Chains A and B, each alone.
Chain A
Amino acid sequence: MKLILIGLLFLATNALAQTNNRPDTVRKSVQLHEVIIRDKKSGNSLANKGADVQSSTDQVLKGIPAVELIYRGNYAPEPMIYGLSAGEINVTLDGMKMFGACTDRMDPISSYVEPNNLKSISVNEGPGPDAEGSTVGGGINFKLNQPGLNASKEISGLIGAGYQTDANTTQTLGSLQYSTKRFAILVNGLYRSAQDYAAGGGEKILYSQYSKWNGGLSAKYQVNSHSYLNLNYLQDEGYNIGFPALTMDVRSAKAKIGAVDYLFTDSTKRLYYWDTKVYGNFIHHIMDNSKRPLSTIDSMPMVMTGTSKTIGAYSEAFIKLGNSNIFRTKAEVYQNTLYADMTMYPMDAPEMFMLTLPDGQRSVAGIDLSDNISLSNKWSASFGGRAEYDRSDITTSLGKAQLSTIYTGAPDRTDLLYNLFANTSYKVTDKWTLNLAIARGMRSSTLKELYGVYLFNRTDNYDYGGNPALRNEQSENGTISATYRSEKFSIEAKAFSYLFQNYIAGEVLQGGMPINPGAYGVKQCVNIPSANMDGCELKGNVVISKTLGFLSVNTFTYGEDGNGNALPLIAPFRSVNTLQYSFQKYYLYLESITEAAQKHASSFYGETSSPPFSILNFKAARRFDMGKNQLECSIEVADVLDTYYYEHLDVFNVPRPGRDFIGHVTYFF
């Protein structure tokens, strides 16, 4: 299958220097999807579907069929790839490793970036060269926007404002680029705030408010004709973020992200792309229950802070071994340190303090090798692998003492991991293409799974204890697809099957006493010998006329562990059907989203079945040309019929926002 390119927006008409684009290793892979947020060449911003530069990151992610989102409120939904999340997938920022600091999964990496920072988002299903690390489920890589050298305008940018009625959401954003022949700089900023939203029917969802700002700075300097020095800095700070699905809210969530890379690129050379990057990121996260009534928190005010520090470096090279044979290698090292603590303030007793992530640290060295080869004009293949060495430990005596409260053995461990993958694509006729992808995946347990101490999981209401003796989760992944494509009609049918060994899950610890208010008990992370997940996806695209198109995406996933329990957080059958109209400066779309009931849910994982729902979304946009500048206006109505609904993945069955009128005005100069 080809890349799914959803051209969302152009920042300016200048073309980004082609040489700066990282080549995609498996362009022909069935498993790689990319959403372009800024297509600087097409200049067509109205071919967008549902999202634009003013959208939130999760709205853009929703446009990718393989991606689902776990909601805990109106902020920071957690992305999944076909039912796999957290440690089962990699979420990276321009190849940078980054790990959320919140012990309750309230700050996925995607919450620290905005489309305003991004050039594109790429998603690789399953292990593969673009999965950005050892994994069983794949990877999501957010690619940061880079300033363009030698742009047609020395100064260009955008300024925009948006308003949403349902939660009284306001946002303001801007972006400014200064470009000369050898030097360019791009700064961008965004502020967004929202009050409590109302679900379909009007019920106010308390503790769903938030505010955030985000700022980015990117600079590019051309060192010589084929070399560039790039600097990226990103800062994102959220405040007063309510999480209605949880028992606590976020007081602040702050991330600082920086990277410098040196890029060599020369399409005439065998080694035509070589990028070497040094990076670091720091997350500080504070949550508390200060806004909740005492009666709902067992009269136990508490504060949890967490930090995540990652430093790393990588060097990635693409080498032409022949006209149709490209070899890629990437060597990387990084180190991540996680710390989290919890302080409880009982009404009539001294405060209580403990570490919940006791200074866990992981150091990783990994190497990726892959090759992409066209065997004939009908047959192409890519294959490769990754080897990784992990060392995990607790770095402080205080941390070791804390872990000893739940685990008596030594905490340190080393792991050798490998991933292997092969994709092949065969063009049966001009219109028919067959794809096959197989992989052997392996992931190391996350530091939270190894060293977490009483981490509360709202999905099953248990406190989780880590287990430093966990075995690595492994998978055998297979995906097969057939695509038919003609001028008027295209259809793609895909089926996948993942078989897991040592699937990591929580098992009730007999006699364990929970700490978090409301928790039923204590679970410990254990390996379940096997689990499997199977799914299929059917996509159809009908070109009704030059201006009118119909797109249908249907996905179904089924997962079960070796004990017969339904795997958690698996979306039921889902069908998204979109009618799009695009003519010159006008763009309209009407979308329906339907989800079946999910009855395959297991109490072992704390899940209950969820009902079906169906909603309608509508959007209209128009572009105004004003000399060399443009104004783009859009009106969107989400949940047109004000349906009350929640998805199976929504934690604690908190309903989604109801009917929401969304207006965006963006001026490009």
Chain B
Amino acid sequence: MAILLIISACSKKNVNPNNANTAGKIKVGESYATGTGVKVTLYQDAAFLTGYNKIYLVITDSASAAIIKNATAAISTSMQMGMGMPAMICPVEQPVYNSTNELYTGASIFNMATGGGMGEWDLSVNVTNPANGKQGIASFMVNVNNSIYNLITTATGSDGQTYMITLVQPLKPQVGMNTLELLVDIQNMDMSYSPVNNFKIQFTPEMPAMANMTSTDNQNPVISTNGHYMGKVNFTMTGDWKLDIDLLNGQNAIVQDADIEFTF
């Protein structure tokens, strides 16, 4: 009983209504959405890598520092590609407020690393303060490192559209059955992306070094939500693996033989 009391005491201490629970997360920076009276603080799980990255926002009143729970926040990413070139835009998942940790959680898919003569990713949060109805942009320049695998593949479909397939899981593949989560986005006219929910995915894991040996009992990913497709992938051994992915719309093959390749 004594132990329980201590635990409940601890829990109470941690649940501070004025403090978002950012334990285990890394602060990237903070930025004021000018003219709105809102401060946005950006957190990450780990340094951003090319691929799928969760992002966390703490949105507070810049004067009182109180958490704003019902702000409207929309994120977008872009990288300036130099004179005359259109800026690069990547898919994002819009932040949603979570009352448990008081964080707005979203995601951003970066398909290129920063540095090395390239630009920086501009992660903008377009936020509206519900208290005064004012809208403004809080902007972050973020660094993105190359992940050890190439987790994103872009392909032009048989319908002429551009699709981006991102490996969300497994990021630390292991021998045996792994949960496979793929994100499928389509590029819009304005270069932004939207998730695709109506595709059928077929895939084969192969080892190029073993004459494209495959494995058994794989489960094709099926749609979960927001362009995320969940399935299972069986890795027989460590080494260099390639996921050979087809996207189908009904019976029509939209994308064939898109590859995501990695080594573990």
- A interface residue numbers (CB < 8 A to B): 300, 342, 344, 346, 348-355, 398, 400-406, 408, 453-454, 509, 511-515
| Contacts known (A349-B209, A352-B210, A408-B217); A515 close to B176, Cβ less than 8 A | no
Which chain B residue has the least Cβ–Cβ distance from A454?
B236
Residues on A with C-beta less than 8 A from B240 are 346, 349-350, 352
Q: Can you list 21 A-B pairs, Cβ within 8 angstroms, ordered by A?
A: A300-B210, A344-B239, A346-B209, A348-B209, A349-B239, A352-B207, A352-B209, A352-B240, A353-B238, A354-B237, A354-B238, A398-B175, A404-B234, A405-B176, A406-B217, A454-B236, A509-B216, A513-B213, A513-B215, A515-B236, A515-B237
* Closest CB pairs A-B (n = 10): A401-B176, A352-B239, A354-B237, A346-B209, A349-B209, A404-B176, A353-B238, A349-B240, A404-B177, A513-B213
Residues on A with C-beta less than 8 A from B234 are 404-405
Report if B174 contacts A (CB, 8 A).
Answer: yes
The answer to whether B239 and A402 touch across the interface, beta carbons within 8 angstroms, is: no
Q: Which of A300, A405, A512, A513 contacts B175 (CB 8 A)?
A: A405
The answer to whether A515 and B263 touch across the interface, beta carbons within 8 angstroms, is: no
The answer to whether A405 and B236 touch across the interface, beta carbons within 8 angstroms, is: yes
Give 6 A-B pairs besides A405-B234, A406-B217 with Cβ atoms closer than 8 angstroms. A352-B238, A354-B238, A404-B176, A405-B217, A408-B177, A453-B236
Report if B162 contacts A (CB, 8 A).
Answer: no
Residues on A with C-beta less than 8 A from B174 are 401
Give the distance in Å from the alpha carbon of A420 to the alpha carbon of B11 in the complex: 64
Residues on A with C-beta less than 8 A from B214 are 513
Residues on B with C-beta less than 8 A from A354 are 175, 236-238
The answer to whether A406 and B175 touch across the interface, beta carbons within 8 angstroms, is: no
Residues on A with C-beta less than 8 A from B263 are 349-350
The answer to whether A405 and B177 touch across the interface, beta carbons within 8 angstroms, is: yes
Residues on B with C-beta less than 8 A from A406 are 216-217
Q: How far is the CB of B173 from the nearest CB of chain A, in Å? A: 11
Q: Is the interface of A mostly helix, strand, loop or mixed?
A: loop
Residues on B with C-beta less than 8 A from A353 are 175, 237-239
Residues on B with C-beta less than 8 A from A346 are 209-210, 239-240
A-B pairs with beta carbons under 8 A, tally:
76
Which chain B residue has the least Cβ–Cβ distance from A347?
B209
Residues on A with C-beta less than 8 A from B97 are none
The answer to whether A515 and B210 touch across the interface, beta carbons within 8 angstroms, is: yes
Give the distance in Å from the alpha carbon of A350 to the alpha carbon of B263 in the complex: 7
Residues on B with C-beta less than 8 A from A355 are 175
Report if B140 contacts A (CB, 8 A).
Answer: no
Residues on B with C-beta less than 8 A from A300 are 210
Max chain B Cβ within 10 angstroms of own Cβ: one of A300, A349, A398, A509 = A349
Q: Which of A342, A344, A405, A408 contacts B215 (CB 8 A)?
A: A405
| Contacts known (A352-B238, A353-B238); A402 close to B175, Cβ less than 8 A | yes
Report, as a range, how many residues of chain B touch the other chain: 20 to 34
Give the distance in Å from the alpha carbon of A350 to the alpha carbon of B242 in the complex: 13
Give the distance in Å from the alpha carbon of A352 to the alpha carbon of B240 in the complex: 8
Give the distance in Å from the alpha carbon of A511 to the alpha carbon of B235 in the complex: 16
Give the distance in Å from the alpha carbon of A354 to the alpha carbon of B241 in the complex: 14
Residues on A with C-beta less than 8 A from B177 are 401, 404-405, 408
Residues on B with C-beta less than 8 A from A453 are 236
Q: How far is the CB of A467 from the nearest CB of chain B, in Å? A: 13
Report if B29 contacts A (CB, 8 A).
Answer: no
The answer to whether A512 and B216 touch across the interface, beta carbons within 8 angstroms, is: yes
Residues on A with C-beta less than 8 A from B239 are 344, 346, 349-353
Which chain A residue has the least Cβ–Cβ distance from B213?
A513
Max chain B Cβ within 10 angstroms of own Cβ: one of A300, A348, A354, A400 = A354
Residues on B with C-beta less than 8 A from A404 are 176-177, 234
Give the distance in Å from the alpha carbon of A401 to the alpha carbon of B215 in the complex: 14
Q: How far is the CB of A94 from the nearest CB of chain B, in Å? A: 39
Which chain B residue has the least Cβ–Cβ distance from A407?
B217
B198-225: which residues lie under 8 A (CB-CB) from chain A?
Answer: 207-210, 213-217
Residues on A with C-beta less than 8 A from B213 are 513-515
Give the distance in Å from the alpha carbon of A404 to the alpha carbon of B178 in the complex: 10
Which chain A residue has the least Cβ–Cβ distance from B176?
A401
Residues on B with C-beta less than 8 A from A405 are 175-177, 215-217, 234-236
Give the distance in Å from the alpha carbon of A349 to the alpha carbon of B209 in the complex: 6
Give the distance in Å from the alpha carbon of A515 to the alpha carbon of B238 in the complex: 12
Which chain A residue has the least Cβ–Cβ distance from B178?
A401
Residues on B with C-beta less than 8 A from A349 are 208-209, 239-240, 263
Give the distance in Å from the alpha carbon of A274 to the alpha carbon of B176 in the complex: 49
Give the distance in Å from the alpha carbon of A453 to the alpha carbon of B240 in the complex: 19
Which chain B residue has the least Cβ–Cβ distance from A352?
B239
Q: How far is the CB of A377 from the nearest CB of chain B, in Å? A: 65
Give the distance in Å from the alpha carbon of A404 to the alpha carbon of B176 in the complex: 5
Max chain A Cβ within 10 angstroms of own Cβ: one of B174, B213, B215, B239 = B239
Residues on B with C-beta less than 8 A from A398 are 175
Give the distance in Å from the alpha carbon of A515 to the alpha carbon of B175 in the complex: 14
Which chain A residue has the least Cβ–Cβ distance from B238?
A353
Give the distance in Å from the alpha carbon of A300 to the alpha carbon of B207 in the complex: 13
Which chain B residue has the least Cβ–Cβ distance from A405?
B236
Give the distance in Å from the alpha carbon of A351 to the alpha carbon of B238 in the complex: 8
Give the distance in Å from the alpha carbon of A155 to the alpha carbon of B215 in the complex: 63
Residues on A with C-beta less than 8 A from B237 are 342, 344, 352-354, 515
Give the distance in Å from the alpha carbon of A362 to the alpha carbon of B252 in the complex: 51
Give the distance in Å from the alpha carbon of A354 to the alpha carbon of B207 in the complex: 13
Max chain A Cβ within 10 angstroms of own Cβ: one of B209, B238, B263 = B209
Residues on B with C-beta less than 8 A from A511 are 216
Give the distance in Å from the alpha carbon of A300 to the alpha carbon of B208 in the complex: 13
Give the distance in Å from the alpha carbon of A405 to the alpha carbon of B208 in the complex: 18
Residues on B with C-beta less than 8 A from A514 are 213
Q: How far is the CB of B261 from the nearest CB of chain A, in Å? A: 11
Which chain B residue has the least Cβ–Cβ distance from A509?
B216
Residues on B with C-beta less than 8 A from A352 are 207, 209-210, 237-240
Give the distance in Å from the alpha carbon of A400 to the alpha carbon of B174 in the complex: 12
Q: How far is the CB of A358 from the nearest CB of chain B, in Å? A: 9
Max chain B Cβ within 10 angstroms of own Cβ: one of A300, A352, A398, A406 = A352
The answer to whether B208 and A400 touch across the interface, beta carbons within 8 angstroms, is: no
Give the distance in Å from the alpha carbon of A49 to the alpha carbon of B239 in the complex: 54
Give the distance in Å from the alpha carbon of A355 to the alpha carbon of B239 in the complex: 13
Q: How far is the CB of A594 from the nearest CB of chain B, in Å? A: 45
Residues on A with C-beta less than 8 A from B216 are 405-406, 509, 511-513
Which chain A residue has the least Cβ–Cβ distance from B206?
A513
Q: How far is the CB of B207 from the nearest CB of chain A, in Å? A: 7
Which chain B residue has the least Cβ–Cβ distance from A345?
B209
Give the distance in Å from the alpha carbon of A349 to the alpha carbon of B238 in the complex: 11
Interface flags, B162-176, vs A, CB<8A=1, else 0: 000000000000111
Give the distance in Å from the alpha carbon of A509 to the alpha carbon of B208 in the complex: 22
Interface flags, B74-115, vs A, CB<8A=1, else 0: 000000000000000000000000000000000000000000
